[in-house]
Amino acid sequence: MAQPDPYLSHWADHAAARTIAAHPEAELYTVAAGITPSGVVHVGNFREIITVDLVARALRDRLGEQGKKVRFIYSWDDFDVFRKVPKGMPQQDMLTDNLRRSIADVPDPYGELDSYASNNIAALERSIEPLGIDCEFIRQSKRYRAGAYAEGIRKALQNTAAIKAILDQYRREPLPESWLPIAGFDPETGRDDLSFTWDPEENEGWTVRYRVESTGREGAFDLREGGDVKLLWRIDWPMRWAEEQVMFEPGGKDHSSEGGSYDTAKQIVDQVYGGWAPAYVAYDFVSIKGMGGKISSSSGNVVTVETCLRVYEPKMLRWLFAAYRPNTEFAISFDLDVLKLYEDYDRAVRLAHEALDGGRKDKKRTVARRTLDLADPAGERIEAGTTPPFQPSFRPLSVILQIYDGDIDRARSHYEATGELNTERERALFDQRARCVWNWIEDHAPESFRYRIRREPIRRSLEGEAKVALERLVTALKANPSASEAELIPVMKTLFEGLELGPKQFFPVVYDLILDREKGPKLTSLMTVMGIERAIGLLEGGL
């Protein structure tokens, strides 16, 4: 019996293996995800997208040589009801006036696109472009209104009793006798204040009659013509499993509890649609450190993928999700933990590039390599035993960038001069990281971490030993204005000879003259990177 490939050992590989085992003869493997765009689509929602993308990639890795295909569909459930106006959205009164309508029919409060749903959808689709996610987006409002699910709706209506029995297993009170598995919107007002009746003999079951509760007006839909009638969520999900022949789809832990929507959907797809339940993984919530709790669009305090990509490189953002099993909750940070996360990521990159030697560390090397390969937006793979392209660590790069006031070109030139940046790929990676570092400094870094070099000298009336030490420093710098950091280090040690004053008392003076603060990066690094001539001009303000 063939031994499993140790490289294909990621959790996404295990999910892919289960999916293939359930459908060994399939030529097309369909994986799916989806969300209701009822507010800003945030990075917590992104967990479902990236979970499916990772499994889709794992499937392609296993199936590619067999000529089989993988289709990733992402459903925008924009035919759902607009129930609550999120905080922070513009035109709150207008949005409030449009409650109880389909999200697809609510006007765009920004006045840019044809609807509120379209704006939220466009923002997410635009933001994930750098992440290399290959998926087919489906607007469910368009599918329903085109009559694409007419047969699925009629089949649900024909099996109303069976669906009620499934749902009633998990309800305290049984559904009312008049209950039907459908919802819809009044064609005149767009509101969802409708009640329905259905006669299986009328028009062969294609006609659904409705009554507007608020006015008593009556009308009818012909399911084959589409329009404003849809299935309720718990029936809609399994119907689309059968319609699209979905073989893998994850769900949030709120859908995964006993008697939850996945439990009932499994029974409905089998008993009503004669289909199968897809292979499934439950995923936990993603939180933002310092915000606490589940991210909620309705609260208005959300973090989007676009926001994350200002601080995290695309491959690193994918790696953060790929490195955790879906059922593990984790937090995304924007505070000083960003430095640690980048250190962890860089360590994983180094580990993944190490050659396999048959030792105990090989498993960790393989796991790191597979995780990073799945995380790469372009799908490029790391070859074990190769040297990773140079990327400066986050912390020292943040120092260099602040010395150069965020000028990425000058910072790049600094690393080129040191001989660390040599290839076009390394330069591209450098620019990407430098942008993220500078965005973090500008948007999120604590005040104690930020600094700017003074543009003009400031006068300080120093006396005593502090003035003596400063005179010695300025004299030494003038004597060797092109000194390297290595040459400056012994000079710094001579500043205090014969003085009671020490670095602890003197260095805050230097930082004040250069940075307008008492602390900063290593002084020898600071002065050599900013340029000794520039440092001299500022230090002379204390003489």
- Per residue of the chain (543 residues), what is the pLDDT tens digit? 455 788 999 999 999 999 999 999 999 999 999 999 999 998 989 999 999 999 999 999 999 888 899 999 999 999 999 999 998 899 999 999 999 999 999 999 999 999 999 999 999 999 999 999 999 999 999 999 999 999 999 999 999 999 999 999 999 999 999 999 999 999 999 999 999 999 999 999 999 999 999 999 999 999 999 999 999 999 999 999 999 999 999 998 877 778 889 999 999 999 999 999 999 999 998 888 865 555 555 555 689 999 999 999 999 999 999 999 999 999 999 999 999 999 999 999 999 999 999 999 999 999 999 999 999 999 999 999 999 999 999 999 999 999 999 999 999 999 999 899 999 999 999 999 999 999 999 999 998 888 889 989 999 888 899 999 999 999 999 999 999 989 999 999 899 999 999 999 999 999 999 998 888 888 998 999 899 999 999 999 888
What is the b/e burial string over 31-64, where b = at least 16 CB atoms within 10 angstroms of the residue's CB?
bbbbbbbbbbbbbbbbbbbbbbbbbbbbbbbbbe
What's the pTM value of the predicted model, to 2 decimals? 0.91
Residue 81 in 3-state DSSP?
Answer: strand
pLDDT at 127 (0 to 100): 95
- pLDDT for residue 298: 53
Q: Note the pLDDT of residue 176.
A: 96
Domain shared by 398 and 256, yes or no: no
Residues 53 and 141 in one domain: yes
- Classify residue 388: in a domain, yes or no: no
Q: How far is CA 479 from the centre of its chain?
A: 52
115 and 40 in one domain? Answer: yes
Helices (H), 362-463: 362-375, 394-403, 408-417, 424-443
49, part of any domain = yes
**Same domain, yes or no: 407 and 475:** no
183 pairs with which residues across the strands? Answer: 230
Please tell me whether residues 17 and 98 are part of one structural domain. Answer: yes
In this structure, are 422 and 471 located in the same domain?
Answer: no
Question: Which CATH number goes with the domain that contains 39?
Answer: 3.40.50.620
pLDDT of residue 1: 44
Which of 286, 319, 351 is where one domain is finished? 286
The answer to whether residue 323 sits within a structural domain is: no
Task: Please give the Cα distance from 503 to 491 (Å, whole number).
Answer: 13
Residues 282 and 398 in one domain: no
Residue 337 lies in a domain: no
* 320 located within any domain: no
Where a domain ends, among 405, 426, 449? 449
Residue 254 confidence (pLDDT): 76
> What does each C-alpha distance from 452 to 367, 460, 522 come to in angstroms?
41, 18, 14
Domain boundary among 449, 472, 487: 449
**Residue 348 and residue 403: Cα distance in Å, rounded?**
29
Whichever domain contains 526, its CATH number is 1.10.10.350
Strand partners, 136: 73
Handedness of CA 356, 351, 47, 131 (dihedral sign): negative
Domain coverage including residue 414: 394-449
Nearest CA to 97 among 89, 80, 113, 85? 85
| 516 shares a domain with 439 | no
Kindly give the residue spans of alpha helices, DSSP state H, lying in 404-423: 408-417
Q: Are residues 18 and 95 in the same domain?
A: yes
Do 521 and 418 fall within a single domain?
no
Per-residue confidence (pLDDT) for residue 15, from 0 to 100? 97
Dihedral pair phi/psi, residue 476, rounded to 5°: -65, -40
On whether both 32 and 94 belong to a single domain, the answer is: yes
255 and 139, same structural domain? yes
The string over 6-19, giving b where at least 16 C-beta atoms fall within 10 Å of a residue's C-beta and e elsewhere, is eebebbbbbbbbeb
> What pLDDT does 296 receive?
56
Instruction: Judge whether 488 lies within some domain.
Output: yes
How many distinct structural domains can be found in the chain? 3
Q: Do the domain assignments include residue 339?
A: no
Residue 479 is assigned to a structural domain of this protein: yes
